Structure 1
Amino acid sequence: MSQEPRRPSPSPFAVPMLLAAMGSIQVGASIAKGLFPIVGAQGTTALRLIFSSLILLAFWRPWRHRLTRQEARAILVYGAALGVMNLTFYLALARIPLGIAVAIEFTGPLAVAILSSRRPIDFLWALLAIAGVLLILPLSGAAGALDWVGVFWALVAGTGWALYILFGQKAGASVHGGTAASLGMTVAALVVVPVGITHAGGALLNPSLLPPAIGIAILSSALPYSLEMFVLKKMPARTFGVLMSLEPAIGALAGLVFLGERLAVTQWVAVGLIIAASVGSTASSRKA
């Protein structure tokens, strides 16, 4: 008699860990934007992933675990998606505000939430989140000032984010979370570093970039992705995806505090809708 697929076991720490991961990423993104004039978005992404992978490799020592072919394939795809997501998000961030870039990128995990939903109530929270995302985007009066190349890169980043969720859960299902995160980050670095070197060249060797690069690596990659790898093992993909709707709100706040990027009133209303969708999703998930 076949057994039912194992579902992620619930944990009271999963939601706080996910919130901490999202906050850390947005603070790191705010710091990273300050490096764009020096080494560009490509060079900044390369520095971030180099130091992130080194930190994670030293901490988790993944070489102690021998991967099966299936595990290695999942980690390769997960790492490639991670690299594309980080690179294209920084390319978007170089052209559009942080809160808007995150909101557009959120179309990826939102699609995961909708496509993997099986209960009518989940569609309600997803629709509420969609309304928030639409409001937070300057689709009307301010749309002319929005760089649509940045919008394109944010959409590509959203696709990478969706793949990261799906393959990250597969990678973390049978492999220790730290092992999957460290190996995935190494793959991401191998994908992005050649692009960064091609764009920034010798500027990447500037010693003054070392402190902020290490800070970005810890805040934007090493810490949050390690947390998320554990969270992915503790909640369904659809719940993870809808909870990530908090990301535009946190991004907007980080952009306001650290970059002076102000949102319109309607966009702050959108933040409230997105938070309501997240709270509703969490509550209905607990009842289930």
Structure 2
Amino acid sequence: MEQKEIQFRKKRELGVIISDSFEFLKLEIKPISRLILIYVLPFVVLYAFGQVYLQRNVLSAIDLTDQEKLMANIGPFYLNMFLFLFFGLFIQSLLVGTYYSYIEAYLKLGKGNFNLSDISAKFFANSLLAMGANLVFAVIVFFGIIMCFLPGIYFANTFSLLLIIFIYEKKGLGDALSRSWKLVNTQWWNTLILNLLAIVMIWAVSMLISIPTMVMGISKNLFSSEFTNPVDYPQWYWIVTGITAAVSTLLMIIPFTFQAFQYFNLEERENPTINLNDNSITE
């Protein structure tokens, strides 16, 4: 029996986009996992350590009842927070650059017609493209949130296809922004549902993993007469916190997959192609 191959460029309804996204991840989980293990996971581990450090050594040092000490620590706090957010943006760009490099090879060469060396030559350049696009996207959403929060949501959804367009079409950032705006606004609410669903999935898995830490935190501070500094939490608490951060980061592959399928769905609706074999999965 021949291997199943997902056809990306195809008109799909919302439910089919979701099911085909998970079908693609299921079929390609081994090579994708190998890519992430080699190129992304070491940085994700560093990111998890960074989050633990930030929570344990930076946030716990802030005493809201001591205004003088608070003002003395506010500068280092913002510096650490900025560096941590920037590193998180770098990790996300590395993940999306690696993953979309795989999808790009899958689309252009066909399933089974390429190996990891074909991707390794492109993932660094695509990660740099993703970093630039992510920075622009973050600035746009940030200013949208400052304006009144709702514009931030609108911009985040409208430009959610920016990364896949910028990496796949390679026609410049300005063109990618306008293309994302144009395509998403043809199915704005469907795109919003996909993005929100992916966020809820990541949140649910993260909450499930972090249940032991939440229970311990509540028991330490709600049922105790004295406040317990997070520095004094047991070692396993910080291990689970780090694992939660790493898993939630790697699960960003879900919204990236949804967005890729939505992009090709909207692209096909805008510029239909003649396809004699109009099946989303062929055997």
TM bucket, shorter chain:
under 0.3
Of Structure 1 and Structure 2, the greater helix share is in 1
Q: Which has the larger radius of gyration?
A: 2
- RCO higher in 1 or 2 (8 Å CA, sep ≥ 6)? 1
